Amino acid sequence: MINFGFIVQSVPALIKAIPVTLLMAFAAAAAGWLLGLGIALIRKNKVPVISQICAVFVSFMRGVPMIILLYISYYALPVVVYNYGMSIGREIDLNAIPAVLYAVLALMLDQAAYSSEIFRSALSAVDEGQMEACYSVGMTKSQALIRIVLPQAMAIAVPNLSGLFLGLVKGTSLAYYVGVYEITATANLLAMPALNFIEAYVMTTIIYEIISFIFNKLFRGCENRLKRFRAGASAA
């Protein structure tokens, strides 16, 4: 039987967990995508050495399961940080670093790798002639990128970024395993005493669906704004 009393009781606690999930997603996306754009530009321009390092980074990040990345960040990184602290003669209090920070770090690196490929293909999709036209009127490369090429690349990238972001929101649920009380972890915690798992997971599903729906709409609106210049374009 479905325990409706449990559902009513636990809704407030679950809603309180939503900001934790969203905050992780926003932080990871903001930092990760910026890094991803940087990687894409470096690789597109074939900057020697750094470009190769970036390629290895992207390949590595795409090959490692998210949960392993979280464990590395949560279990291995603190040891490194602690040892580094000791080597410069300072004892770092690892308990002062909240778990959510490790989770965001892992998610951010993952986002950087995946978004860099999205940005790279979007940059390649902008016609070479746009860059040449910029040069022909005397612009510098950075002027051309900022004013002409990136705005067009963004319009191409947004649909894919939207998918990446929704994946990220769901991916934050893995932070449960390193002790971050976001939506999934909270649901589990509430369900455990009386084994109300069905109810808890149904509610969790509904919350994730609503979040996805809202962000899907937001990204769609953003996409339409960015590709305004293609309005009225002929089928060709």
Partner 1 sequence: MANIVELKNIHKSFGENHILKGVDMNIKKGEVVVILGPSGSGKTTLLRTINFLDSADEGSVTIHDFTVDCKKHTKSQVIELRRKTAMVFQNYNLFQNKTILENVMEGLVTVKKYKKSDAEKVSREILGKVGLAERCDFYPSQLSGGQQQRAGIARALILDPDVILFDEPTSALDPELVGEVLNTIKAVAQTGITMIVVTHEIAFAREVASRVVFMEGGVVVEEGIPEEILVNPKEPRTQQFLKRITNPNASDEPG
Residues that bind partner 1 in the complex, under the rule CB under 8 A? 127, 129-130, 132-140, 143, 147-148, 151-152, 155, 228-234
Q: State in angstroms the smallest separation of the CB of 148 from partner 1.
A: 5
List, as one string, the DSSP characters of 155-188. HHHHHHHHHHHHHHHHHGGGGGGGT--SHHHHHH
Residue among 95 and 142 whose Cβ is closer to partner 1? 142
- Amino acid residing at 140: T
Q: State in angstroms the smallest separation of the CB of 137 from partner 1.
A: 4
Q: Are 162 and 208 in contact (CB under 8 A)?
A: no
Residue among 62 and 147 whose Cβ is closer to partner 1? 147
Residue among 65 and 232 whose Cβ is closer to partner 1? 232
Residue among 92 and 226 whose Cβ is closer to partner 1? 226
Q: State in angstroms the smallest separation of the CB of 149 from partner 1.
A: 9
Residue among 16 and 225 whose Cβ is closer to partner 1? 225
Residue among 145 and 200 whose Cβ is closer to partner 1? 145
**Cα 34 to Cα 148: distance, rounded to the nearest angstrom:** 18
**Cα 233 to Cα 125: distance, rounded to the nearest angstrom:** 17
Q: Are 223 and 155 in contact (CB under 8 A)?
A: yes
- Amino acid residing at 153: A
The 10 Å Cβ neighbour count of residue 160 is 17
Q: Mention every residue, 6+ apart, whose C-beta is less than 8 A from residue 11.
A: 203
Distance of CA 171 to the CA centre of its chain: 9
Residues in the chain: 236
Tokens of 62: 């795409």
